[in-house]
Amino acid sequence: MKTTEQHSNVVVRYIFLTIGAISFFLGTAGIVLPVLPTVPFYMLTLFCLARGSERFHRMFLESSLYQKTVGTYERDKALTLRTKLSILTSVTAIMMIGAYFSRNISIALIIMSIVWIAHIIALAFIVKTKK
């Protein structure tokens, strides 16, 4: 029984590591491609690596990519105005592309509108602005 449980744990760890690696590459691609959001993919990477490998988790937390994107907010609990505008610009571009391709699907447009407005509210009123 114990060997089956250990085998299962190893499989689950490898699944988390695989998902973590994929989300890391997508998040890194999101740095240069405005269509891919960086922070959500890095948060997924962090979650998966924390469950897959303590060593990879620690390495990711110490990486410059993480520190530049998520680490700053995590440390200061605030974003610069430039970062906020960058986030809002990329979210708006993504939403516009999505709205264009789903212009005949009312529910999709409503959901995207709600998500876009939520971003504006969060960036304007919830997330503090760092000088």
What is the amino acid identity at position 106?
Answer: S
In whole angstroms, give the CA distance from residue 14 to residue 51.
10
According to the model, what pLDDT value does residue 71 have? Answer: 80
- What is the radius of gyration, based on Cα positions, of the chain? 18
According to the model, what pLDDT value does residue 108 have? Answer: 84
Six-digit token string for 61: 């937390």
pTM of the entire predicted model: 0.56
Nearest to 67, CA basis, from 84, 42, 50: 42
According to the model, what pLDDT value does residue 80 have? Answer: 85
According to the model, what pLDDT value does residue 25 have? Answer: 93
In whole angstroms, give the CA distance from residue 85 to residue 74.
18
According to the model, what pLDDT value does residue 18 have? Answer: 94
Segments in the chain below pLDDT 50 = 1
